[in-house]
Amino acid sequence: MRDFSVALLLMSGILKAQFIILAPWVPDLTLIALGLFLLSILKSSNHFTRVHFSVFQITALTVFIFFCLSIIFSALYSPSEFALTKIRKFILVIFIFLIGFFGKEINLKVLTKYYVALTVFSSCMFLYIFPKLRLGLLGEEAEFYKGSYLNFGDSCAISLILMFLMIKRRNPIFYLSAILLFFALVLSGARAPLLLLVMLGSLAMSLNVISALIQNKGINAFKFVALIFASSIFFVSTVVTFNPAKYQNTEIVKTLTLSIERFSLLLKDDKGSSVNVRLTLINGAVDIIESEPFTGVGLAAYSKVALKEDSLKYPHNLFLEVWAESGIIALVLIVALIALVFYAVTVLRFEPALVLLISYCVLNSLKSQSYSDNRVMFFWFGLAIALSAYSKVTKSHRQKLTGREIAKA
């Protein structure tokens, strides 16, 4: 139950936006996930046992606590009416970080399966909603849903990373799910998640091939040639038999065209309205930093100072947002936290899935999503720090154990 409740908590915001359109009567999934998580703690037989932390874990937790305090302190001199709103949002992020940090009973493989399953379910709902959304056939709820498309793209990319690095037993359902997630990611128009997934995936595959060659494992040439041959036949037969005139005016083709046009903007001088807006937001943050480099302008005050409107708009860059609003001390603390997290997953306990996943989350935070909403990134931060204590357990033994058993080992 605990692994499912954590996965649901990470996905609840995305599912909530979809249920507003398809089933508005569904209760708040975030509250349901929190209730299930607390219930799992109460049912646990050792939830009052003594917890032991390493020096590294205490250091990382201290850095995180001081980062949170610097964020909260910046609300004291904020001129924005949205400072308390941002604190309330950030409190959930803090809670989710602590879930990961104290998550010694979280089974990473089971959590992966639940998270992927919920993302696949979300993708099915997305494919039903998306044509109507793109063609402007939805009502007022469409505006709320548009604000979550990047979060949905993130969940698809993260699920694909987890699937190929954490799930070893692969069957037709596995590959069908992967195709569905990738197709939904492309359709969503979330350009950064797709580009980061391709970039990090290509890097991981290249390193894997190089490692195999170095270890004299070689590459199965027959499988490689067979795959290329089959792909070529499929591609050629599709091109020869496809008749565009037959499908030109269908809703599916119109939807695909709109998605392709969004990605094609990356190859043009004009990158599209969203990229141009982000550049404006970044310039506003740079201006604030030049004028208030030490203290910032106050929590949630970026929009009021840079854009002359009091709202929750942010510069779409983790470091610029923290620095512009909460000052240089908060910036140093978040940089230190990220450095400690990477140290945990590369030196103390090397876990390829977590390295790739955290790299994706950090890179993506540099172009979208406010830290006060980035519950997924901070959860993986907390879990990476927690798992660093189990570095002495061998890989073969670790695969057979849950987090609680690893702690005992």
The full DSSP string for 36-89 is: HHHHHHHH-TTTTS-----HHHHHHHHHHHHHHHHHHHTTTT---TTHHHHHHH
Least confident of 36-50, 207-221, 380-394: 207-221
Alpha carbon distances (Å) from 305 to 76, 77, 298, 326, 327: 16, 13, 10, 13, 15
Better pLDDT: 135 or 163: 163
397 has pLDDT over 50: no
Query: If you average pLDDT over residues 127-150, what whole number do you get?
Result: 67
Reported as a pLDDT band with limits 50, 70 and 90, residue 220 is low
28 Ramachandran zone, left/alpha/beta (phi>0; psi -120 to 50): beta
What pLDDT score was predicted for residue 232? Answer: 57
What pLDDT score was predicted for residue 358? Answer: 92
Q: Give the span between the Cα atoms of 271 and 267, in whole angstroms.
A: 8
Better pLDDT: 138 or 245: 138
Reported as a pLDDT band with limits 50, 70 and 90, residue 300 is very high
Better pLDDT: 77 or 247: 77
51 has pLDDT over 60: yes
Angle between the N-to-C axes of helices 108-134 and 149-166, in degrees from 0 to 180, rounded to the nearest 10: 140
What pLDDT score was predicted for residue 1? Answer: 77
What is the pTM assigned to this prediction? 0.80
What pLDDT score was predicted for residue 369? Answer: 82
394 has pLDDT over 50: no
Render pLDDT for 322-364 as a digit per residue (tens, 0 to 9): 999 999 999 999 999 999 999 998 888 887 888 889 999 999 8
What pLDDT score was predicted for residue 228? Answer: 53
| Helix ranges (DSSP H) in 215-272 | 221-241, 244-247, 251-264
Q: Give the span between the Cα atoms of 345 and 21, in whole angstroms.
A: 39
Reported as a pLDDT band with limits 50, 70 and 90, residue 102 is confident
Enter the tokens of residue 91: 């409190």
Mean pLDDT, the chain, whole residue set: 79
State the burial class of residue 238 (Cβ atoms within 10 Å of its Cβ: 0-12, 13-18, 19+).
exposed
* Percent of the chain whose predicted confidence (pLDDT) is above 90: 35
What pLDDT score was predicted for residue 71? Answer: 95
Question: Please, what is the end-to-end C-alpha distance for the chain in angstroms?
Answer: 23
Cα angle 14, 180, 165 (rounded to 5 degrees) comes to 85
Enter the tokens of residue 211: 């490692």
Alpha carbon distances (Å) from 144 to 115, 140, 358: 23, 8, 28
- Of 180, 197, 48, 154, nearest in space to 369 by CA: 154
* Percent of the chain whose predicted confidence (pLDDT) is above 70: 72
In the 3-class helix/strand/coil scheme, how is 257-323 assigned residue by residue? HHHHHHHHHHHCCCCCHHHHHHHHHHHHHHHHHHHCCCCCCCCCCHHHHHHCCCCCCCCCCHHHHHH
Residue 251 CB neighbours (<10 A): 12
What pLDDT score was predicted for residue 390? Answer: 67
Reported as a pLDDT band with limits 50, 70 and 90, residue 66 is very high
Q: Give the span between the Cα atoms of 163 and 276, in whole angstroms.
A: 34
The answer to whether the beta carbons of residues 11 and 115 sit under 8 Å apart is yes
Query: If you average pLDDT over residues 85-111, what whole number do you get?
Result: 89
The answer to whether the beta carbons of residues 56 and 344 sit under 8 Å apart is yes
Q: Give the span between the Cα atoms of 366 and 138, in whole angstroms.
A: 31
Enumerate residues 6+ apart whose C-beta is below 8 A from 189.
Answer: 149, 153, 258, 259, 262, 263
